[in-house]
Amino acid sequence: MAEDLINVVLLVNGSTHSVLIEPRVSLLDTLRDRLQLMGTKKGCDQGACGACTVLVDGERINSCLTFAVQYEDRHIQTIEGLSEDGRLHPVQRAFIEHDGFQCGYCTPGQICSAVAMLAEWRNGMPSAVSRSDGPHELQPPDLSDDELRERMSGNLCRCGAYVGIRQAIQQAAGASGR
Ligand code: FES
Ligand code: FES
């Protein structure tokens, strides 16, 4: 039996959208099926691949694991909203320069995840790798290959374009890597 529909107001890429949906509909399905924002991809639909990563108030989430209704009054950003005034985001440009993709299916999620990850890193948030080196509250750890692999481990690429992805993110970070 169909559930009652509710009206959900979402702020996506700076625009307000009002959608009539069942409460159980995921943010991912709402973005793709109701708002026609197809840049956000559905890979596994169970939180394992990261293809559906979007930003909420600047933090990365798997949109397949969340209900749209949870994100009323929050700033949602998808890959379509990363460029500004027709200029690609530095992470987007770096992915192009370093061939950080093959089929491209994982790419929007990789890029959204990288944008939020770099903010976490710049704010000194430790990872499972950096934590073993000691406290990093005052200075971000070097964005080494190991550090980057750990921080991006939630985003899978079936094509194995990881070398280009890593180089792109390190370039965007202004880090040389190790
Ligand atoms: S589609 Fe959401 S994590 Fe795979
Ligand atoms: S580029 Fe094909 S899955 Fe990543």
pTM of the entire predicted model: 0.92
Q: Mapping DSSP to helix (H, G, I), strand (E, B) and coil, where does residue 6 land?
A: strand
Pocket test for ligand 2, best of 53, 79, 105 (most atoms within 8 A of CB): 105
What is the distance between the alpha carbons of residues 11 and 114, in angstroms, rounded to a whole number?
A: 22
Residues with CB under 6 A from ligand 1: 42-45, 47-52, 62, 64
What is the distance between the alpha carbons of residues 103 and 56, in angstroms, rounded to a whole number?
A: 26
What is the distance between the alpha carbons of residues 176 and 170, in angstroms, rounded to a whole number?
A: 6
User: Quick one: which ligand is closest to 106's CA?
Assistant: 2
Q: pLDDT, tens digit, for every residue of 116-149?
A: 999 999 998 888 887 555 555 545 678 999 999 9
pLDDT value for 129:
85
* End-to-end Cα spacing for the chain: 56
pLDDT value for 124:
86
Q: 79 CB contacts (<8 Å, ≥6 apart)?
A: 39, 40, 54, 108, 111, 112
Instruction: Assess whether pLDDT exceeds 80 at residue 177.
Output: no
Residues with CB under 6 A from ligand 2: 101-107, 157-159, 161
21 vs 176, higher pLDDT: 21
What is the distance between the alpha carbons of residues 6 and 20, in angstroms, rounded to a whole number?
A: 5
Do 112 and 172 touch, CB atoms closer than 8 A?
no
Q: Which candidate, 26, 10, 6, 27, places its Cα nearest to that of 18?
A: 10
